[in-house]
A = this chain, B = another copy of it.
Amino acid sequence: MAWNTNLRWRLPVICLLLQVALVVLFGVFVRYDLDADPHWIEKKMSGNVSSDLDNEFYYRYPSFQDVHVMIFVGFGFLMTFLQRYGYSAVGFNFLLAAFGIQWALLMQGWFHSFDGRYILLGVENLINADFCVGSVCVAFGAVLGKVSPVQLLIMTLFQVTLFSVNEFILLSLLEVKDAGGSMTIHTFGAYFGLTVTWILYRPNLYQSKDRQSSVYHSDLFAMIGTLFLWMYWPSFNSAVSNHGDAQHRAAINTYCSLAACVLSAVALSSILHKKGKLDMVHIQNATLAGGVAVGTAAEMMLMPYGSLIVGFICGIISTLGFVYLTPFLESRLRIQDTCGIHNLHGIPGIIGGIVGAVTAASANTELYGQEGLAFAFGSSTPSWNASTQGKFQAAGLFVSLAMALVGGIIVGVILKLPFWGQAADENCFEDAIYWEMPKDQKSIVFRSEDPALKASEP
């Protein structure tokens, strides 16, 4: 099957339309939050603010920048591991994230920062928009190499919308805690992406298998992504936690979980190879599972040893997933998961949701103190009790899964339409379809290895 992959009008039109729509909606709906408005000085002078530093900016901005790096460099470079898909990995991730954050500012703004007339923007909105786009980056991992940028923009449009609805249900209706987004970001993003790639199943993808692997330097580029994700994950999980001890604790727990995860991922990678050799795929991905899995509970009293246990187990499960589950999903369930997001975000996300539910259900005044419990969980409400919180947490996990599956099916069907510029099965994982290539790739690798592709170009 040969689709037309020339994007000359389709991509520009959709980009410009979306951006113009965003400008109009921002014009109608978006203003600055008081902490970012010149009238803040009046609040300050009225004596409610002890110092300039009490501006929310100073609590959140360093974490925001770390999260920002994770979304653009972390996810972008993590996906450059394919030998001939580096431009697309980093470039399309850049495009979809740049669109997604704007749309997320609106969608999340209507749900959470709307004062009746305007959405009021502050640094916390920027972080949440990055979070929301994080779930799209996760889903991108599943379809990597098999979709056009037009499809990615459409997927982003829908996924951000669904994410915001799901997040609203969890955080506002169910009053679930999910600071690092094990459920809202990772579980939702992963199962959404897996459903989409299931609908988009390509029976002849084996024709592109030659390119679905790394070369030496592409693996090193991917390690840039891995390491920035790994290093900044403590900021990710603590970025929107309550000021003070909660943010502090979330960072410590995530640090611990990720460290443990590295050792168990390395151990399993070696044990599963017949000569005991390590596999870069595991080092690039399974080492991060610990960050996903403490997303919900990081700000709670998970305890440092609890974090180590979670990280330890997830490193094992994630590596096992890469070796056994991903091939199984592809051959039996027709789910082609390019980056193995099921192992990095799917299962660890579910584990994270469960760990969060159990940890929340174990909350008590001995651990948190009277005031501490009230601050962390709003336990001063008479109706609150820990086991109910735990049940709602669990419910949140199921809602996220359900939203992901239903949403993924709908979006998958839309993306299956034949006019979005997607590549033929034999031309997947190939930058040259959508990018002007430098000479070295055109003349050497491309022409000699892949004559089929040449022919399919318009």
Q: Which A residues between 83 and 137 are near B, CB-CB below 8 angstroms?
A: 83, 86-87, 90-91, 94-95, 98-99, 101-102, 105, 121-123, 126
Q: How far is the CA of A229 from the CA of B270 in the complex (A)?
A: 30
Q: Assess whether A220 is in contact with B30, with CB atoms less than 8 Å apart.
A: no
Of A149, A219, A278, most B-chain CB atoms within 10 Å: A278
On chain B, the residues within 8 Å of A450 by CB distance are: none
Q: Assess whether B37 is in contact with A249, with CB atoms less than 8 Å apart.
A: yes
Q: How far is the CA of A215 from the CA of B218 in the complex (A)?
A: 14
On chain B, the residues within 8 Å of A255 by CB distance are: 101, 126
Q: How far is the CA of A372 from the CA of B13 in the complex (A)?
A: 41
On chain B, the residues within 8 Å of A22 by CB distance are: 260, 308
Of A15, A243, A369, most B-chain CB atoms within 10 Å: A15
Q: Assess whether A37 is in contact with B278, with CB atoms less than 8 Å apart.
A: no
Q: How far is the CA of A38 from the CA of B87 in the complex (A)?
A: 46
On chain B, the residues within 8 Å of A77 by CB distance are: 224
Is A332 in contact with chain B by the CB < 8 A criterion?
no
Distance (whole angstroms) from the CB of A351 to the closest CB of chain B = 16
Q: How far is the CA of A438 from the CA of B213 in the complex (A)?
A: 7
Binary B-proximity of A1-22 (CB < 8 A = 1, otherwise 0): 0000011111111011011101
Is A166 in contact with chain B by the CB < 8 A criterion?
no
Q: Assess whether B38 is in contact with A376, with CB atoms less than 8 Å apart.
A: yes
Q: Assess whether A260 is in contact with B19, with CB atoms less than 8 Å apart.
A: yes
Q: Assess whether A308 is in contact with B26, with CB atoms less than 8 Å apart.
A: yes
Q: Assess whether B273 is in contact with A436, with CB atoms less than 8 Å apart.
A: yes
Closest to A103 in B: B259
Interface size class of A (residues with CB under 8 A): 35 or more
On chain B, the residues within 8 Å of A95 by CB distance are: 262-263, 266
Is A62 in contact with chain B by the CB < 8 A criterion?
yes
Q: How far is the CA of A101 from the CA of B308 in the complex (A)?
A: 12
Q: Which A residues between 386 and 404 are near B, CB-CB below 8 angstroms?
A: none
Is A47 in contact with chain B by the CB < 8 A criterion?
no
List the one stretch of A299-307, A342-350, A410-418 in contact with chain B.
Answer: A299-307
Is A383 in contact with chain B by the CB < 8 A criterion?
no
Q: Assess whether A32 is in contact with B86, with CB atoms less than 8 Å apart.
A: no
Given contacts A22-B308, A260-B19, contact A267 B50 (CB under 8 A): no
On chain B, the residues within 8 Å of A68 by CB distance are: 231
Distance (whole angstroms) from the CB of A272 to the closest CB of chain B = 9
Is A158 in contact with chain B by the CB < 8 A criterion?
no
Q: Assess whether A219 is in contact with B53, with CB atoms less than 8 Å apart.
A: no
Distance (whole angstroms) from the CB of A211 to the closest CB of chain B = 11
Is A454 in contact with chain B by the CB < 8 A criterion?
no
Q: Assess whether B23 is in contact with A260, with CB atoms less than 8 Å apart.
A: yes
List the one stretch of A139-147, A179-187, A279-287 in contact with chain B.
Answer: A279-287
Distance (whole angstroms) from the CB of A69 to the closest CB of chain B = 6
Query: Which residues of A does B touch, CB under 8 Å?
Result: 6-13, 15-16, 18-20, 22-23, 26-27, 30-32, 35-42, 44-45, 50-59, 61-63, 65-66, 68-69, 72-73, 76-77, 80, 83, 86-87, 90-91, 94-95, 98-99, 101-102, 105, 121-123, 126, 149, 213-221, 223-224, 227-228, 230-232, 234-235, 243-249, 251-252, 255-256, 258-264, 266-268, 270-271, 273-280, 283, 287, 301, 303-305, 308-309, 312, 367-369, 371-373, 375-376, 434-441, 457-458
5 A-B pairs closest in CB distance: A38-B372, A8-B276, A98-B262, A15-B267, A52-B243
A-B contact pairs, 23 of them (CB 8 A): A8-B270, A8-B276, A18-B263, A23-B312, A32-B249, A38-B375, A45-B371, A55-B243, A57-B244, A58-B58, A61-B62, A61-B63, A65-B234, A65-B235, A87-B220, A91-B283, A98-B258, A98-B259, A102-B259, A122-B252, A149-B266, A213-B439, A216-B438
